[in-house]
Amino acid sequence: MSEFNSRMAAQRRIVHLVNGTSKGREELFGLSRQAIDRWIIANGIDAESRLVDLIRSAASRIACLATKSQEQVSEDYRALVQDIDAFAIQIETELG
Amino acid sequence: MSTHIYAFGSVCRGDVSLDSDVDLLAIVDGRDERFNLDIFSVYSAERIHALWNEGNPFAWHLALEARLLFSTEPTDLLSCLGNPKPYQKCADDCTKFANLFDEAHGSLLSQTSSTVFDLSMVFLSIRNIATCFSLGITEQPTFSRRSALELGRDSTPLSEQAYQVLERARVLCTRGYGPGLMRTETQAVLGELPAVKEWMTNLVRRVEEHE
């Protein structure tokens, strides 16, 4: 899988996990800051909660790879998969 | 510290709409914490040089459209770089976006909880494959959000209505802005996706033959 496709798959994994588990009024549309902010407001979620912190951290972890230099990227993508696994487990726990 | 700030995208092409944002690029030396990543695409000068040397589509996008807004130097960095190297990864890139389409389409068929996200990925794949195709195969590269509708007889078979729904999904996903999608709208788009799959497969085959 290309690095680009890996990044998109990581986003999909987090978004699906959140939307598949939480039954809010409006789904999480994406992992941009604005999309997360909208999801928080639309569903009356505590912006300071651990769940929100984990989602923002996962989003930030994925986004930072987009502008890194090519030399760093190959190594980082292996780490990304592990990190997203870890975020997914913690998010799943928070969603109960 | 050397800094260059550019505008690029719709504001430079003049094809603005109510949904348009302003694309800003900051080219900096190493790490620079001053720029809000929600507003700026931030690249190191080293990374920009690397993109130019690999003939990356984003480098061509900047070379053909970006306009300098501010520089700490007397020179325009991107103008000084001239044209990027020829674009040579068109088949790889088109395959990458065709795969993204397949993943999003498969996801849309198997679940209904993240429809907007997956439709946004569908839009990204359609727009980007069209942009790469236009840059790699045609004489007229297009970087517009509507690139897939601007390929003449190679344009996507999507209806204008479906394309607009996909654009809205993309704006919701990236900017969290706009009305949500109605079930009837998403169902209508889903009905058109098999034709899009065929169109993409054809584009990939054309690019592979060309290379």
Give the model confidence (pLDDT) of B93-151 as tens digits.
999 999 999 999 999 999 889 999 999 999 999 999 999 999 999 988 999 999 999 99
Residues 2-61 of B with CB under 8 A from A: 37-38, 41-44, 46-47, 50
Q: Residue A77, class by beta-carbon neighbours within 10 Å (0-12 exposed, 13-18 middle, 19+ buried)? A: middle
Contact B192, B159 (CB under 8 A): yes
Cβ contact, residue pair A2, B96, below 8 Å: yes
Residue of A5, A28, A63 with shortest CB distance to B99:
A5
CATH of region B90-210: 1.20.120
First to last CA, chain B: 42
Please state the separation of Cα B182 from the chain's center in Å. 25
> What distances in angstroms separate CA B22 from CA B15, B25, B38, B132, one per listed residue?
11, 10, 11, 22
Query: Which strands sit side by side in the sheet containing B23-28, from one edge to the other?
Result: B40-44, B23-28, B3-8, B67-71
Mean pLDDT, 10 residues at a time, chain B of 211 residues: 92 86 90 83 90 95 96 95 95 96 96 93 97 94 94 96 97 94 96 98 96 83
Predicted confidence (pLDDT) per residue in A23-64, tens digit: 788 999 999 999 999 999 999 999 999 999 999 999 988 887
Find chain A residues with C-beta within 8 A of B43's C-beta.
Answer: 67
Per-residue burial over B138-161, b if 16 or more Cβ lie within 10 Å, else e, is eeebbbbbbbbbbbeebebebeee
Cβ contact, residue pair A34, B38, below 8 Å: yes
Domain locations along chain B: 3-81, 90-210
Q: Is the pLDDT of residue A75 over 70?
A: no
What is the domain class of B3-81 according to CATH? Answer: alpha beta
User: Rounded mean pLDDT of A59-78?
Assistant: 67
User: Chain B within 8 Å of A74 (Cβ-Cβ)?
Assistant: no
Find chain A residues with C-beta within 8 A of B99's C-beta.
Answer: 1-2, 5
Selected for mutation to probe chain B from A2, A29, A31, A64 (highest B CB count within 10 Å) is A29
Cβ contact, residue pair A5, B111, below 8 Å: no
Residue of B nearest to A69 (CA): B47
pLDDT at B84: 97
pLDDT at A70: 44
Residue of B nearest to A11 (CA): B117
Domain locations along chain A: 3-95
User: Chain A within 8 Å of B180 (Cβ-Cβ)?
Assistant: yes
Nearest to B126 by CA among B177, B164, B183: B164
Q: Do domains B3-81 and B90-210 have the same CATH topology?
A: no
Residue of B nearest to A68 (CA): B47
Q: Å from A32 to nearest chain B CA? A: 5
